[in-house]
A and B are shown apart, each in its own frame.
Chain A
Amino acid sequence: MTDRKPVYLMTPALAWLTAFMVVPCLLILALAFFRRGIYGGIVYEFTLSNIALVFDPLYARIFLKSAGIAGLAATIAVVIGYAAAYAIASMPRKRQPILLFFAVLPFWSNYLVRTYAWIVLLNREGLIVSLARAVGFDGDLPQMLYTETAVVIGLVYNYLPFVILACYAPLSRLNPEIHEASRDLGASEWTTFRRVTLPMTVPGIATGFVFVFVLSIGNFVTPALLGGGQFQMIGNLIYDQFLTANDWPFGAALSMFLIAIMMGLLTLQTFASEKASGQQRAEVSDD
């Protein structure tokens, strides 16, 4: 039976992944152990100095700072996104697809264009300030653009649809009878949400959080545009090593660490959702 499964259908995808994902990643891994030449380029002499440099307080701080910004963006996105997904899932079935369509619509435009839109909105002579003036506000507004807040806003905005989709999936699959049963047994709406709905949709929340976190921590476009180059996130540091400092080995070492962090998180997330769905099955059968 097993030998009749069309495993060969996977060959193109596997070949693609190997050639354009696995091999480049291995090259990057190898690069991390060589020295940079005086003028850039690579000197093929084994060294661990690039790896050691990643733990230098300066760069470790940039890693932590990036994790902080990514964590904040992911938290805000999950709160907003979960609420939106909950609202959409509570709508009549017929209307849900159109609402989801609107949530995903911004993805149809280019990431750069969407990020630039925030520059237009937030800058000192921008739309928000002009609107405030138009309604009679003439005090000093705080500088919004080119701040850490702007970077977080940009990240949340760009990745919010991922969270809505990730949270909508488990919310829409919830059996409404479970909700009714909880109410029948005397639980308030809030208790029902806290004790029944929320625990059963944790996998969606975890997926949304990890998605936003992983996409944010390596992002370099948003900090460059909305942070005015004043916030160095790990993505910018890697970009600079490859494209400005011409220090490919160190850039490679930084990339390996970033990939390791991302893989660790994705593994944890997979593990957590497996466990959560296992638990749910167990709980349901207990009842």
Chain B
Amino acid sequence: MQHFRSSIGLLLGTCLAFGSGMAAADDLVISNWDGYMAPEALDSFTEATGNDAELVLHGTNEEIMGKLIASNGRGYDVVFVSSPFAEVLQNMGLAEQLDHERLPNLANLYPEATELAHDPGNQYSVPYTWGTTGLCYRSDLVDGQPDSWQDLLNPSDELQGKTTMLATDRWLLGAGFLAKGYSVNETDPDKLADVRNLLIEAKESLLAYDDTTFYAKLVSGEAELVHAWDGWCNYGIAENADIEYVIPREGSDLWVDTMVILKGSENKEAAYEFVNYVLDADNHRWASENILYKVPNQAAMEALDPALIEQFPNLGMTPDEMMAFEQLRNVGDAQRAYSRVVSEIKAAN
């Protein structure tokens, strides 16, 4: 049995290793979403520190988690993941306990960004971007100003078939939890059933579930009100100034994408240097200016061009305002119940 186990692990590991295009062992290996950092970042990092680095891409948190779990955290040095997944890496003992002395640029972070609920004191994760989830809409087509999750879940007659919701389980359920006044990390079965019923009803008026092109649907006019992350709503605003973002009065979640150094890293020195390099005010500002996300870096945000904030008002949200919202947390075994509820919603008709 023991032999069988290890051979399955080995085979799976091998498949994943081939699949992810693993780099030579002495290069720093970073896994990130496509386009989530400056294209020249790695070259300038190499130039600045003399460390060779290779970028591997993942499409979703779950994808990189699958690889890390199968390889037991080997093969990667630094990964970019959303905070609930950083928590999982910590719980599994795969995350490096950060030595702050090697990260002097942590001083650039807002004080709030060092007190995040999932990791107070940045013991194992460093926030890279943060923001909210709300409603993104065409102010020229929607009557009045939407201000409630009910505007999305139970839309007016004119908006029937012109709304989209995020498809990823945590945010899809999040809209229902917030509309009901529950915690975004609720695991009580009765409350989950409540939210399931609410979201099945909401499906009737929905155009589509959409995680990636909802802003394009707004621009084309195919959709008029969509469930959106603030940073992505900005991509719509960039193409059509009539698009606006609003946080419903029932609230939002606070989402945080983080950098985690793997405990199994064989290039820890370079990994620390990389994280510190990203936290540099100028480097970190790139994310805000180019991918239009808020970064938790005070020095970077203060240097942001005010014209940019005028064009994309949600970039001007203060850390204080964001901290009012509850962060998505890892829910452990309840994740299976979440997956099931999402299947029930998507299979309903």
User: Chain A nearest CB: distance from B58 CB in Å?
Assistant: 11
Q: Is the CB of B340 within 8 A of A58?
A: yes
Q: What are 7 A-B contacts defined by CB distance under 8 Å? A: A39-B88, A44-B8, A125-B220, A228-B207, A229-B346, A243-B66, A244-B168
Please name the 3 residue pairs, one residue from A and one from B, whose CB atoms are nearest each other, closest first. A228-B208, A229-B209, A245-B339
The chain B residue sitting closest to A34, CB to CB, is B8
CB of A157 within 8 Å of the partner chain: no
Q: Is the CB of B69 within 8 A of A39?
A: yes
> A228 and B92 in contact (CB under 8 A), knowing A40-B66, A143-B161, A237-B343?
no
Partner of B343, one of A232, A242, A243: A232
Q: Is the CB of A61 within 8 A of B347?
A: yes
Partner of B332, one of A38, A59, A123, A232: A38
A→B interface (CB under 8 Å): 23-24, 27, 30-31, 36-42, 44, 58-59, 61-62, 65, 123-125, 143, 146, 228-232, 236-237, 240-248
B window 153-171: CB within 8 A of A: 161, 164, 167-169
Taking CB atoms, residues of chain A closer than 8 Å to B339 are 240-241, 244-245, 247
Q: Is the CB of B222 within 8 A of A123?
A: yes
Q: Is the CB of A243 within 8 A of B221?
A: no
Taking CB atoms, residues of chain A closer than 8 Å to B99 are none
CB of B285 within 8 Å of the partner chain: no
Q: Is the CB of B333 within 8 A of A38?
A: yes
Number of interface residues of B (CB under 8 A): 43
The chain B residue sitting closest to A243, CB to CB, is B62
Name the prevailing secondary structure of the B interface residues: helix
CA distance A228 to B344 in the complex (A): 16
CA distance A119 to B323 in the complex (A): 39
User: Chain A nearest CB: distance from B111 CB in Å?
Assistant: 30
Taking CB atoms, residues of chain A closer than 8 Å to B342 are 240
Taking CB atoms, residues of chain A closer than 8 Å to B151 are none
Q: Is the CB of A246 within 8 A of B65?
A: yes
CA distance A31 to B347 in the complex (A): 25
CA distance A23 to B70 in the complex (A): 18
Taking CB atoms, residues of chain A closer than 8 Å to B259 are none
CA distance A36 to B203 in the complex (A): 30
Q: Is the CB of B346 within 8 A of A40?
A: no
Partner of A27, one of B8, B221, B347, B349: B8
CA distance A59 to B70 in the complex (A): 26
User: Which residue of A143, A237, A246 has the most chain B CB atoms within 10 A of its CB atom?
Assistant: A246
Partner of B346, one of A230, A242, A245: A230
CA distance A234 to B15 in the complex (A): 24
Q: Is the CB of B60 within 8 A of A230?
A: no
CB of B48 within 8 Å of the partner chain: no
User: Chain A nearest CB: distance from B114 CB in Å?
Assistant: 25
Taking CB atoms, residues of chain B closer than 8 Å to A36 are 336
User: Chain A nearest CB: distance from B149 CB in Å?
Assistant: 19
Mask: chain B, 30-74; 1 = CB below 8 Å from A; 0 = not: 000000000000000000000000000000101101100110000
CB of B12 within 8 Å of the partner chain: yes
CB of B335 within 8 Å of the partner chain: yes
CB of B206 within 8 Å of the partner chain: yes
Mask: chain B, 77-103; 1 = CB below 8 Å from A; 0 = not: 000000000001001100000000000
The chain B residue sitting closest to A31, CB to CB, is B8
Q: Is the CB of A62 within 8 A of B62?
A: no
CA distance A38 to B342 in the complex (A): 18
The chain A residue sitting closest to B2, CB to CB, is A44
Partner of B336, one of A31, A231, A243, A247: A247
Taking CB atoms, residues of chain A closer than 8 Å to B1 are 44
Q: Is the CB of B220 within 8 A of A245?
A: no
